[in-house]
Structures are given as structure tokens and as C-alpha cells.
Amino acid sequence: MKLSDLNNEQSKAVKATKGPVLVFAGAGSGKTRVLTYKVWYLIKNKIYLPNEILALTFTNKAASEMKERINASVSCDGVTVGTFHSVGARILRKHIQHLDERYSNSFTIYDESDQKSILKEIIEELDLSDYKEFHPNILKSRIDNFKNSSMSVKDVQSQTNGFENEKITEIYDLYLEKLINNNAVDFNDLILLPIVLFKKNKKILSSYQNLWKYILVDEFQDTNSSQFEFISCLGSGHKNITVVGDDDQSIYGWRGANIDNILTNFKKVFPKATEIKLEKNYRSTQRILDGAWSVVSNNTNRAEKKLVATKGKGDKISLISASNDEQEALAIADSIKKDIKVNKSTFQDFAILYRTNAQSRMIEQILMREGIPYNIVGGTKFYDRKEIKNVIAYLTLICNPNDDIALKRIINFPVRGLGEKSIKLFQELAKEKKISLFNSLQFTSELKLRNKQCETINNFYNAINGFHELLEKLDSKELFRVVLEEFSIEYYYKNNPLEQDRYNNIQELKSSIDHFAQNSDSGLKEFLQEISLYTDLDDWNNKQNSVTLMTVHAAKGLEFPTVFITGLEQGLFPLIRIDDTADQLEEERRLFYVALTRAMEKAYLLNAHQRRRFGAQNISSFVQSDFLNEIDARTLKINKYKSVYTKRIISSANGKSVKVSRTVTEFDDFSVGDMVQHNLFGIGTIIVLSGSGENQKVGIEFKDGLRKKLIVKYANLKRID
């Protein structure tokens, strides 16, 4: 690394080492480069020691990449590089008992399904199952919002009136209490609880302010209220803090991200902040940048900036309007195959982006049919699979016997002859004795159970306790293998012919633990924490030669030579409803900006006049996305898509059936609303369009109200422009 590698503004940001610095870094302008160079610069020039530097990111992948880049030039051993949540977890592991003595440093980090399990319990306890507004999904969302806004039970209570809100307050209170009793925290607690800790114990806050004398924050535009408060607490000591972000890429408002953190709030907390703008783009062509800017510049709540490409003007952005979603997918497949043939591209050069996951079905169907390999980001995560969660629950319970959620998941897996009635007896006993569910298992003699059941429970209880005592004596690899053997988990899957995929997944988990043990001196607790903080993108890589399919949200931070943006129809992208606010529309614009700026060389914008929804063809009136009306027309090239494919048909010759291949042209030049001319009926307007290929049919209303349904193949229609 050397400063001469940087442009003037990047160099200025790197060399600003005293006081607060706010860097507005446009898409592809090298923000990660600035952060890594700055850490290198601080260490190389001995401005700060490695262990005095904290770098915060939003994904484990980003943290790993940053470490790798720095280590290539200077040792960053001692630098704390991690996600907000991993750093929060580190603080809590050390100090959580200062918040409540019932906590221990072996606490469990609950995922989404664990949270919902607790909420289901609470709903049943409060007899609220018949109320739709108290569904676990709704309650989880509300509690997440409370925590992202740093709201306590008292804060929620002060804002509430009426039955529903009173119950919400009660549920929130019970939820927090159950977490403590289970020695567990949820994902949001990893940020919120350190803040509570800092406010409660100024000595602990001061120790971290003195430890981390320089703080760097990536993707600052994505911070929510609690993350901003977390940063403010740590940074308000020495005030040596650099935050980097792009307000035009703030796309997580729906989960609490506050764009005002980068636009106004940072300067309120750090009024002497130096402001620097990075506007030189190293990723995309100028036409792609101009197209993206022409849309996002319609937002009022943004910092003015316009990116300049270093790669030249480039090709125009292709706009394809297909007759239906099948044709939209075919247009993508044909474009990929053509580009590979003409430009010698590879499948990994392409990404297909959509606003909602539901859009992937038709795309997948066509890609499979056309023999195009693909990889979906955002499916079921490895650690969310049933068999993996079962094994992890065993490991969790061994680390944290107070975790009732983990216990209930595995108490009858593999089958131990314990039904719901038996488990409820132990739950009632635990409640009566005010102990954890696990500890109630030692009192089998007090319950009316069969001798065989008592023996089974006692063996299970003793085994878990025995492994708990071995935690510090065995490494994670050894302990994992003994657990699999002791509880016959591996045997259960291995000897069931229908469970081979699950067995293979457990072998993959075994490899994951082996890798962790080889590369870390930490134990099982640390392994469980690491996997609890995984995201979809941590497992994603584009080294495999396949097309990438993902939502626009998942694509943030990535880049591809060619990008397809699908579903550009009003109501889909932007995904706007009648009651949505102007702020939500602005976020949709930013989302489009993010999507388009993932493209390095080529971009395709696509929509469909008809789209299957819930298994049926939606033939409602088509309205193209407002973004296509806002985009600079000079950046666009309008393509009329006409697919050609080879169809296998059965023909009969001399009484024998033979397979024949012939080329079929898709009759997809027509759209609802087109004016057409028919040799017999004259001029009319297409009011209905159905089917595709040789089977495509149109419903046309001619003059004098005459309506006809015609097969396009035989109708010889001419469009009137």
C-alpha cells in the first residue's frame, strides 16, 4: 500500500487522523479502500497501536476482507475488526452480569425462530391466540423496532393507550424476563444492552473509550438509532472517529435504519467533523451512473453529489418490455447465452436482481429449461436447516443449561417417548419451583411418569450435565464428536434412507467445527457465537461459474459485469402501496440506484405486461415503473424482444413416430393496449393477451364494439404505431 495509489479526496480522507471525519462515498468510489488504507496509515505511521483501533462493519464478509487487505501490507494483529453485533457480543461476554446477576457469560444468542418460540409461549400464557394483532411475526417486528429505537418497557408504556397497547407492553416485559431466565439475548440486544451497560456503568464505558482510541465505521447510512447511540458512546471520548457511507444507498429504513444519521445526526454529535466527498467511480460506465443518478436525484432528502466514471461512457442501458413474466425470463436467458457466445463471458459475470423473492420462480424455471446454471442468495441458510438446528440445540444446551428453547427442541429428539403431556408436567414443576426447565428434569420422582420415562430423562439430564463439565477440558471438535455419538444423532440420520441429505449436512457441520478448531484457540461457546452472527452473504461467493439470483437488498456491496433488474412495474418496483409515505418512495428510488450501480459494464431493465401471481395470470392494466419515466432517456436503448428457440415435436412418418427439431418464433411483439390491423375486421385494440409462443391468443375490440379472440400465429396482425 502507498498513498500514491489513492486519488486526492481518498488521500485526504486517509490522512485526516485527528477529530471526527464524515466521508460521503458514492457507489464504486472506493470507500472500503479508504477504510483499509486508513487503518494501514494509522499503524504504519505509529499514530495508534493496532489494539487501539476499532473498525465496525455490517457483515462478517466485509470484516474478513478488510483484515485481508490490511494484512497484505502491515500486520493488523490486535486491531478489532468486526460487525456491530460481534463487538457488542464481545462486550457483553465480559460484562453482562453487571446488567443482571441472573445472566452468565455463556448466554445464548437467539435467532428469529427462537424469538418466535418465546412469543408463542407468551401468547398462550396470556390467552391471546385468537387475536390476529398478537401473531408472533407481528410481535417480533414490534419488539425489534422497540429495541432498534433503544426503547425500554417504561418508554413503550408511556406511549400506549388501550387494550392492544397495554398487552404489547405486557408482552414486551414478559419477553425480556424470559430472555433473562433463559440466559439468552436476541440479535438486537447485542447493540442495545451494551448501551444500557455504558449508561449504567460509566467506568466500563470509559475503559472502552480509552481502549479504542480510533474508531472507523463502514456503511454508516445503514445504522439505526441504537447503533448510532452505540457509536456515539464509544466515540465521544477521544472523538477520533471516521464514518463512511452513502446516503443514496440507505435502503434499510424498513428495519430501522435512519438516513438522518449520515445527513444530520453525526454533525449534531460531532459538530467539528470534517466532511469529504468521494465522487470518482471505479466500477461502472458513465451511462450507467447517469441513469442511476437521474432517478435518485429526484429525492429531496439527500446530499448532492454526482459520480464521474473512470471507465468511459460505455453501452446504453437496455430496456426490454416483455409480454409476460415468462418472456421476461426468456429475454434474460437469451441475453446471457448471446453474451457468452459473442463476448466469451462466463455465467458468473451475470446477476439477476428482483424486488421480491417470489419473482425468482419463473426465472429459475426458464434458466433450468435453458441449461443455465444459477445460484440463489437468500434461500434457507445452512444453520437454519432443521437437522443443523437440532444438533446446535444440543451444543447450546451443554453451554447454557438454562436455555429452555434449546431443551424443548431436543428433549424428544431422537425419540425418547416423551409426549407433550410429559413436557408440560416438567414446565409446571419448573414454574412451581422457580427453576429452569432443565433443572426440573432432576425431579422425576415427583411426577407420575413410567419407570422407563424416568430412566430416559435421568440419563439425558446426567449426560448434558457431564458434557457441561467437560466444556473447558475438550476442544469443540472433540466435544462435538462425543455428543453425536452419545445421543445417537449421527446414527439416527445415517441409518434412515430418507434422511441422507440431512446426514450429509451434519458431516458438513462437522467440517465447519473442525475448521474452527484448527484456526482458533477458542472453544464451543465462541463457535456458537460465530455461527449465530452469520448472514446469507457470508456464505456467498461468485467463484462458482453460475448466474447469481438475489434481491436488490442482498446485492448491496456487490458488483457484476452484467446486471438484469426485473419487474420494473408500478406496484412491484417501486413496491408502493396507497398508504405509503414520501419517505418510502424515496427509499425505493435509492433501492433502484443500488440495483443499477451493481453493474460494471452492462445493465438491462425489464418489465412484463402480465405477471403470474399466486399461480394465476394477472391481466390487470400494466403501468410501467415511475423509475423508467424518471431515468434520462439518453442513457437508454429500447429493445423489442422476440425469442427464438428450438422445440422438440413428435411427427409421424410411415407409421413410425420420430422426433423433429424446428425453430419457433415467439409471437410476443404485442402488448395489451396495442392498436392492430386485421385484414378482415379492420383496426382494433388488444384488450386481453394470454399464452405464449405458437399458442399465444389475443382478445381484440374492433370498431363498433366487435370483439374477437384470435390465435396470433394465424391472425396476420399488424401493429399500428
The Cβ of residue 353 has, within 10 Å, a number of other Cβ atoms equal to 27
One-letter-per-residue 3-state SS of 639-680: ECCCCEEEEEEEEEECCEEEEEEEEEECCCCCCCCCEEEECC
Strand partners, 662: 647
- The closest of 357, 265, 411, 340 to 553, measured between CA atoms, is 357
CA-to-CA distance for 525 and 92, rounded, in angstroms? 13
The per-type count for the chain, helices as H runs and strands as E runs, is 29, 26
Whole-number CA gyration radius for the chain: 30
DSSP string, 41-67: HHHHTTSS-GGGEEEEESSHHHHHHHH
Tell me, rounded to whole angstroms, the distance of Cα 611 from its chain centroid.
Answer: 25
One-letter-per-residue 3-state SS of 505-543: HHHHHHHHHHHHHHHCCCCHHHHHHHHHCCCHHHCCCCC
CA-to-CA distance for 337 and 349, rounded, in angstroms? 12
CA-to-CA distance for 282 and 85, rounded, in angstroms? 30
DSSP string, 128-173: -TT-GGG-HHHHHHHHHHHHHTT--HHHHHHT--HHHHHHHHHHHH
CA-to-CA distance for 388 and 409, rounded, in angstroms? 12
Please report, to the nearest 10 degrees, the dihedral formed by the alpha carbons of residues 666, 669, 675, 680 taken in order.
-30
**Terminal-residue alpha carbon distance, the chain:** 59
CA-to-CA distance for 718 and 721, rounded, in angstroms? 9
625-659 per-residue burial string, b: 16 or more CB within 10 A, e: under 16: bbbbeebeeebbeeeebebeeeeeeeeeeeeeeee
Query: Residue 278 in contact with residue 23, Cβ under 8 Å?
Result: yes
Please give the backbone phi and psi of residue 720, each rounded to the nearest 5 degrees, phi first: -110, 110
CA-to-CA distance for 650 and 666, rounded, in angstroms? 19
User: How buried is residue 162: exposed, middle or buried, by Cβ count under 10 Å (0-12/13-18/19+)?
Assistant: exposed
- The closest of 437, 494, 435 to 460, measured between CA atoms, is 437
CA-to-CA distance for 244 and 57, rounded, in angstroms? 10
Cβ neighbours for 460, distance < 8 A, ≥ 6 positions apart:
411, 416, 441
Q: Cis ω on the peptide bond leading into residue 271 (within 30° of 0)? A: no
Strand partners, 250: none
CA-to-CA distance for 115 and 120, rounded, in angstroms? 9
* Residue pointed to by grid coordinates 403470474: 612
CA-to-CA distance for 227 and 223, rounded, in angstroms? 6
Active site residues: 31-32, 218-219, 249, 598
